[in-house]
Amino acid sequence: MHISFVVAVAENGIIGSGNELPWRLPSDLKRFRKLTMGKPIVMGRKTFLSIGKPLDGRANIILSRDQEFSVEGTLVAQTVEAALELGKREASSKDVDEIMIIGGAEIYKAFMPHATRIYYTLVHAEPDGDASFPALDFSLWKEVERELVNAGPKDCYDFSNLLYEKTASNT
């Protein structure tokens, strides 16, 4: 079972500003939808609130320390371990082998020891922001794909799609 991050990161490490994405990249959002469709997605409460609703076609698992937090159409976990158990159960029921971690910054940091794959969109920009992706220890990760994507008509910036996999000696 892969624990996979899906993240868009600017060249300066920024992933968010004011609990929103600091760019507009509809082309990357289409990729995000394709990568996550049919798979359980795990996100923090703030990320869920910024999205505003459960994402269709996916089991939405929200990690929140607030034991009272509840939203119809979602599953809520209070710990990383509980979120992973819910994700594994949902993945098995849908016959998929991936749990998708979709943010934000604190969630990526909390799940980093469990991650085995990272779908990494490198946004070719350096926006201001208040949320950063945790630094990767590249001795633990191997880049297995890279594709430059020129900005589409509605995209703010060019970006590159990268795929990292945890090296076999570190899984």
The topology (CATH level 3) of 2-170 is Dihydrofolate Reductase, subunit A (3.40.430)
Inform me whether the pLDDT recorded for 169 exceeds 70: no
What pLDDT sits at residue 138?
A: 86
Residue at token pair 């996100």 = 43
105, 16 Cβ separation under 8 angstroms: yes
How many percent of the chain have pLDDT more than 70? Answer: 98
Closest CA relative to residue 71, chosen from 87, 86, 60: 60
Domain parsing of the chain, residue ranges: 2-170
DSSP string, 38-90: TS-EEEEHHHHHHH-SPPTTS-EEEE-S-TT---TTEEEESSHHHHHHHHHHH
Write down the mean pLDDT value for the chain: 96
Measured CA to CA, the distance from residue 37 to residue 59 in angstroms comes to 9
Q: What is the mean pLDDT of residues 19-30?
A: 96
Task: Check residue 155 and report its DSSP letter.
Answer: -
Specify the pTM.
0.95
